[in-house]
Amino acid sequence: MAFSPVIGSFVAADYAVFALMLLVSAAIGVYYAIVGRGQSSSREFLMGGQSMTAVPVALSLTASFMSAITVLATPAEVYRYGASYGLFSLSYVLVVVVSSEVFLPVFYRLGITSTYEYLEIRFNRATRLLGTVMFIVQTMLYTGIVIYAPALALNQVTGMDLWGAVISTGVVCTFYCAMGGLKAVVWTDVFQVGIMVAGFLSVIIRAVVLQGGVSNILNHAELGGRLNFWDFDASPLRRYTFWTITFGGTFVWTSIYGINQAQVQRYISCKSMTHAKMSLYINLLGLWIIMLCSVFAGLCLYSVYKHCDPWTAGTVSAADQLMPYMVMDILRDYPGLPGLFVAAAYSGTLSTVSSSVNALAAVTIEDLIKPYTHMTEKHLSWTSKGLRAQFYPPLPEQTLNNICNVITVGCHYVCLLCRPFLADNWYSLSYLYFSPIGTLTTLAVGLVVSLLSGTLPQMVVLLLTILHVVSN
């Protein structure tokens, strides 16, 4: 396909599709605000009365785990470094098994709302407070990345108003979180994961048609060295190998599924432990589908631009703009479809932010307010609704304006605090007499190591192999 130096811009149909996604999300919040007027306690509001079933919770877990970073940055990562990123699908299996069989039974049987309540039961209040504060800081920072980075990438490629998108999604997200509680968050996620898949499919189908079929796309990827799944190099300094992804990915993502409040809060809201475990295993299918879509979208991106890279040509200023660029390039003659893809990206943002806001409200109520006040359940319920309106994260504009890889910085924010706390929870589940002093030391050392680890130099991968260039 010939390279086009001109990219399209949003038209009325695209804005209409995007607005419809926001409208439906808000409507779900209104619905659960009306039918949930009987939610008189904070626990009922935060945990959905522990009446949720497996399928909606599973889809909610998938939607919030796969943020806009997945929609925009994963295809760019595959385009640059190859499809080995898809091996994370193997680590997801281990993550789900460990989370459902080791961590879930402990949290569910305790009947707690905040995962950090466990730290006081197991250690002491100081450990619980430390965990809560670290979670709040990490979640606020990461959620800021999730909101602003995709908006910046989409603005620079599609011309969509940056702050209009940020403010509108923020208002809608805060609205349905505050109105409908956990049930609104879960069912909105169900709707949004469908939008994410539809957005991916619109791009993939069009790219397959343009490139003459799936086989051509795979052939182009193979010639360009992008089907690099089986790299068994044992060096931990390599960006992606079989070992770093399967084992490293297992530990990183277990810190999300096993102990992170946003994920745990959803699956322990199920009406039984059986439903809770089923939600995790069904969620695994959702993770595989989204991963397949994002990896194949990256291969489509490579197939379309293998002879002229928009990034090195200076047409886009960052790798995370590559996917929006292709959308505007190949779908510009189909009004509404670029809007569908942007709606997919922002569905990822909304699902992640709403889950984070709900989790932040839960830990604030349970860990910072309840133990030190004597508020009634009605007042706590109103307070939890008010907190949702306050927990709109800071937007690190100056930092993100210079970011060339959103997926990397997103992982850094996640790993910075989650890795030390995963170690803490492993110790607490494994060693009955592990002391609070040892736990706090583990957290401190883990945090320092995370801060000092730094970032490895970027690995350069040629768009075409030398052999392919010579042969032509």
Q: Is residue 77 part of a domain?
A: yes
Cβ–Cβ contacts within 10 Å for residue 110, how many? 14
Show the domain range for 438.
Answer: 12-471
Span 355-367, mean pLDDT? 88
Average pLDDT, integer, range 459-465: 52
Q: Using CA atoms, how far apart are residues 262 and 399, in angstroms rounded to an integer? A: 25
Q: What is the rounded distance in angstroms from the CA atom of residue 169 to the CA atom of residue 147?
A: 9
pLDDT of residue 274: 95
Is residue 330 pLDDT above 90, yes or no?
A: yes
Query: Is 447 inside a domain boundary?
Result: yes
Residue 270: what are its φ and ψ, rounded to 5°? -70, 155
* Per-residue confidence band for 457, with pLDDT thresholds at 50, 70 and 90: low
More confident site: 273 or 311: 273
Q: What is the largest CA-CA distance in the chain?
A: 77
Please, are residues 228 and 85 in contact by the beta-carbon 8 Å criterion? Answer: no
2: in domain? no
> What pLDDT shows up at residue 11?
85
Q: Enter the tokens of residue 45.
A: 């509001």
Is the residue at 170 inside a domain?
A: yes
- 397 in a structural domain: yes
Output the pLDDT for position 436.
62
Share of the chain above pLDDT 90, in %: 33
229, containing H or E segment: none
Cα 353-145-251 angle, rounded to 5 deg: 80
For the ranges 72-86, 193-207, 212-226, 433-447, which has the lowest average pLDDT? Answer: 433-447
User: Does residue 7 carry a pLDDT above 60?
Assistant: no
In terms of average pLDDT, the best of 266-280, 373-387, 424-438 is 266-280
- 155 vs 93, residue with greater confidence: 93
pLDDT(465) > 50:
no
pLDDT tens profile 387-430:
655 555 555 544 444 444 554 544 444 454 555 555 555 545 54
Q: How far is CA 288 from the centre of its chain?
A: 14
Out of 27-31, 213-217, 231-235, 406-410, give the one with best mean pLDDT.
213-217
- Angstrom distances, CA of residue 164 to CA of 53, 114, 148, 160, 161: 36, 34, 12, 8, 5
Check whether 444 has a pLDDT greater than 50.
yes
Residue 178, domain member (yes or no): yes
Provide φ and ψ at 256, rounded to 5°.
-90, -55
Average pLDDT over residues 70-92: 91
- For every residue of 329-391, DSSP letters joined together read HHSTTSTTHHHHHHHHHHHHHHHHHHHHHHHHHHHIIIIIIGGG----HHHHHHHHHHHHHH-
Please state, in angstroms and as integers, the Cα–Cα distance from residue 381 to each residue in 151, 198, 219, 369, following that order.
Answer: 32, 36, 57, 12
For residue 244, pLDDT over 50 is answered with yes
CA atoms within 13 A on the CB side of 167: 5
φ/ψ (deg, to 5) at 55: -65, -55
How many Cβ atoms from other residues are within 10 Å of residue 451's Cβ?
9
Residue 286 resides in a domain: yes
- Domain of 176, CATH number, reads 1.20.1730.10
Q: Given this model, what pLDDT does residue 272 score? A: 94
Whole-number percent of the chain with pLDDT over 70 = 79
Q: Beta-carbon neighbour count of residue 38 at 10 Å?
A: 8
Q: Is residue 4 part of a domain?
A: no
Q: What is the mean pLDDT of the chain?
A: 81
Query: Using CA atoms, how far apart are residues 417 and 95, in angstroms rounded to an integer?
Result: 18
Most confident of 254-258, 313-317, 442-446: 254-258
Split into its structural domains, the chain has a count of 1
| First-residue to last-residue Cα distance in the chain | 17
For residue 53, what pLDDT is reported?
A: 94
Q: What pLDDT shows up at residue 434?
A: 54
Residue 234: per-residue pLDDT: 82
> In 232-272, which ranges are continuous DSSP H helix?
242-243, 249-257, 261-267
What DSSP letter does each residue of 92-145 carry, written as one string?
A: HHHHHHHIIIIIHHHHHHHT-SSTTHHHHHHT-HHHHHHHHHHHHHHHHHHHHH
